[in-house]
Amino acid sequence: MSPEPLSRPSRIALRALRPAPAPVRPTPRATRWRVTGPADHPLVRHLRRQPYPAAGPEADVLVLGGRWPAGGAGVLLDAYQRAAGRQLTLVHDGAGGGSLLRGLGAGDGRPVGTVALGDPTPAALRRAAGLLAAPSAADELTVAADGTVHTLGWRAAPLPGRAPRFAGATVLVTGGLGGLGSRLAVALAAAGAVPVLLDVRTPDDAPPDVRRMLTLLRRRCPRARLLTLDLTDPAAARAALAGLRPTAIVHCAGRIAGGTGVRLGPAEVDALVAAKVATLETVLATVRAKRLRAVLTFGSLTAHGAHPGLAGYALANELLHRATARYAATHPGVRCCTAEWSLWSGAGMARQVARVAARHLGMVPVPVATGVAAATRLLAALVDAPPDEDLPDSLLVCSERPGTQGAWSGRPEGVPGVDAALVVPAGGDLDMAMRAVAEAAAGGAALIPDGTAGPGAPLLVRATVTGDGVDCVVRSGADPDGPALRSSRYRLLPAGT
């Protein structure tokens, strides 16, 4: 298999994370807090000092610190159960956990929220306390030291890098006997790298397609190696990885569990986190960082969504992104990025379910060849990037087929902040299109195909649910981030009216 040159970059869409200012609504009335968290945490102390009325809405709050604690899944699941139907807000200083909470809340239709608190200044504490009492439409809010509030936004990003050339560089590929890791190893070898595959699987346990990749890899790069080890075992890693001086690491090790209607227990969630995060931390703690230039971790779009059946997997991916960013912050000489993929079709852990699940979730799967080419090129960019080049630390990678940009991008699998989008042919009925998009954003109404395509540039209509309304904006399809050509707002009516 040779990697597909990215001559058709429209096959995938990349978006980089960026903070977006979030409107803050005033607290409706005084709230009674039910706080779980360390007594010496600044927010816990602040909340316990607040006078509150004997009657009034109750807000449950779980406070975590800067790192995901051992047994964190159990702590969060317990707090969710104790909240017993009331709104639960998770506040953390970097530990994360919002993805697990969103998944639980989405499964039960319960209100949940996540607030990330940076510097606990008096302004930030006051603002955070206000947010706990005023549920927000945004999935995750960040409060800065001056009390301003941001949510996660995404901006379109080009695929960085040039044609990959690795010139004999050693590249560790964890999960190298997985569907994606094995294919990436073959592509890296084709670009001149010497892959070293690390996996707990043996070739005998691997599916036939992976064994074929291994044969291809050995033919293409006789110096490629395979090391069989459990990467959650630091002693085994020290023994196996001694003497390796990689230029780059691609972290593909991971597991998935869950599915529609499945709710995992704390031990199962911890196992998913270990397979993605402990494995990364073991490798990073074991290899010599002297020659290390780049770390590319394979995350998932689910980290930013609200997935009832995949909440544990989403958490593992959220914590993976946080662990990658933490390593980057302490190793300025190593360029790090998490590729947050949507589903891949045709290989890997989602190959059995990709078509059905993708249709169900509204995802357009990434074709294997396109994903492998994008990952190879992204890694080359990380390895080669001059120190002053600003590369994103997270790239959301979805598939986009020309002509289907208007397919429903239902949250959270679409673009966060945009609940529904539709390309309207020039000459189409805009009022009707805006109403249709607004209805879809508000409740998933079916789209009636519009056969009135005429000449000229298509228009893009996007709708976002904000509070009790849906905002629609029309932009040029050729310039989706350009000025709004028209806008409209719809009010959401309570059910039954």
* Residues in contact with ligand NAP by the rule CB under 6 A: 175, 177-181, 199-201, 230-232, 252-255, 275-276, 279, 298, 300, 341, 343-344, 348-350
List the structure tokens of 43: 């927010």
Question: Between the CA of residue 26 and those of 23, 118, 302, 422, what are the distances in Å?
Answer: 10, 21, 30, 33
List the structure tokens of 175: 């999960």
User: Which single residue is written with the structure tokens 């904006």?
Assistant: 473
Shortest approach of ligand NAP to residue 213 CB, angstroms?
11
Tell me the three state secondary structure of residue 196: strand
Q: What's the DSSP call for residue 302?
A: G
Number of neighbours of residue 410 by Cβ within 10 angstroms: 17
Question: Between the CA of residue 102 and those of 257, 365, 424, what are the distances in Å?
Answer: 17, 23, 32
Strand 12-21 and strand 248-251: the pairing is unpaired
Sheet with 469-476: strands ordered across: 420-424, 459-466, 469-476, 486-491
Residue 165 or 359: the one with the smaller Cβ distance to ligand NAP is 359
List the structure tokens of 184: 């990436």
Shortest approach of ligand NAP to residue 374 CB, angstroms?
13
Residue 344 or 490: the one with the smaller Cβ distance to ligand NAP is 344
- CA-to-CA distance for 396 and 13, rounded, in angstroms? 8
- CA-to-CA distance for 441 and 434, rounded, in angstroms? 10
Shortest approach of ligand NAP to residue 346 CB, angstroms?
9
Q: Would you say 422 and 449 are in contact if contact means Cβ atoms under 8 Å apart?
A: no
Residue 181 or 367: the one with the smaller Cβ distance to ligand NAP is 181
Shortest approach of ligand NAP to residue 258 CB, angstroms?
12
Shortest approach of ligand NAP to residue 400 CB, angstroms?
16
Shortest approach of ligand NAP to residue 343 CB, angstroms?
4
Shortest approach of ligand NAP to residue 12 CB, angstroms?
13
Shortest approach of ligand NAP to residue 247 CB, angstroms?
21
Residue 161 or 175: the one with the smaller Cβ distance to ligand NAP is 175
Shortest approach of ligand NAP to residue 314 CB, angstroms?
10
Shortest approach of ligand NAP to residue 261 CB, angstroms?
21
- CA-to-CA distance for 71 and 7, rounded, in angstroms? 46
Q: Which residues are CB-neighbours of 428 under 8 A, at least 6 positions away?
A: 450, 452, 453, 454, 459
Beta-strand runs (E) in 126-279: 140-143, 149-156, 170-174, 194-199, 225-228, 248-251
Residue 47 or 382: the one with the smaller Cβ distance to ligand NAP is 382
Residue 101 or 372: the one with the smaller Cβ distance to ligand NAP is 372
Residue 125 or 248: the one with the smaller Cβ distance to ligand NAP is 248
Of 139, 97, 112, the closest CA to residue 311 belongs to 97
Residue 368 or 422: the one with the smaller Cβ distance to ligand NAP is 368
Residue 80 or 341: the one with the smaller Cβ distance to ligand NAP is 341
Residue 44 or 184: the one with the smaller Cβ distance to ligand NAP is 184
Of 80, 129, 133, 130, the closest CA to residue 108 belongs to 80
Q: What's the DSSP call for residue 275?
A: I
| Nearest residue to ligand NAP on Cβ basis | 178
